[in-house]
Amino acid sequence: MQIQHRSSAALGLFVAVAITASALTACGEDTAPAAPDTATSSVEATPELDPFEYDVNNWKKDTVTRIIDIGRERNESDTAVLAALTASYGEVTWWAALDGTSEDLFGWKSPAVVVPGAGRYRAQRNEAPYITGAINRFYQRGHDLNLTTDDPVDYAIAVQTTDIRPASLGDATVTYYQDRVTQRGEPNRFADENAVRTRYAEALSYAEAAFRQIR
């Protein structure tokens, strides 16, 4: 009888342990899974730059379109086209279509072309021959210099700062930096290559955004 009692006690203990283990397993299965991580990045995407903001009568867009179209006609590289857009924005923010402006599309007071019967200095830079002539001169100088860089800023600086134009009067010539000497104490944003590079580097993002829209 004592042996049977011990067996019954052992059996009871085994059953109790089994029930406890089963209960613990059930509790584990009923536990809700951890909530998924729904946290999103706090870094927001940078909005697309609008290169034609405050564009009166689409003058800027028309200028950009002409630069790109002439580049395509000449089979120019994307780097050359971006360089032309960068230089033009950096110099005059593509405002070549304004009546009475004293600079051409690339910021030169001395025009890229001389139209017969027109004064060199007083010619309207918004007229088609001057705009087209300035664009073609920029692209051609890239070829004359045998530029191979893939950096539009370097390309634009090389074309612009090595150019020499006829002065407004007589047979004298002016360099890029001489052409940009200011009057009446106005600050010169293009006093040296570092200043030009800073301005053109800022202009490149506008050139790229415009190129994506128009191309």
List the structure tokens of 58. Answer: 């689409």
Contact 86, 200 (CB under 8 A): yes
140-149 pLDDT, tens per residue? 999 999 999 9
Contact 77, 142 (CB under 8 A): no
106-164 pLDDT, tens per residue? 988 876 666 555 544 444 555 677 788 899 999 999 999 999 999 999 999 999 999 99
List the structure tokens of 201. Answer: 């580097």
172-175 CB contacts, 8 Å cutoff, 24+ apart: 174/110
Record the pTM.
0.72
Report which residue type is found at 99.
D
Contact 70, 81 (CB under 8 A): no
Residue 51 has pLDDT above 70, yes or no: yes
* Domains of the chain, residue spans: 56-214
Residue 5 has a pLDDT of 46
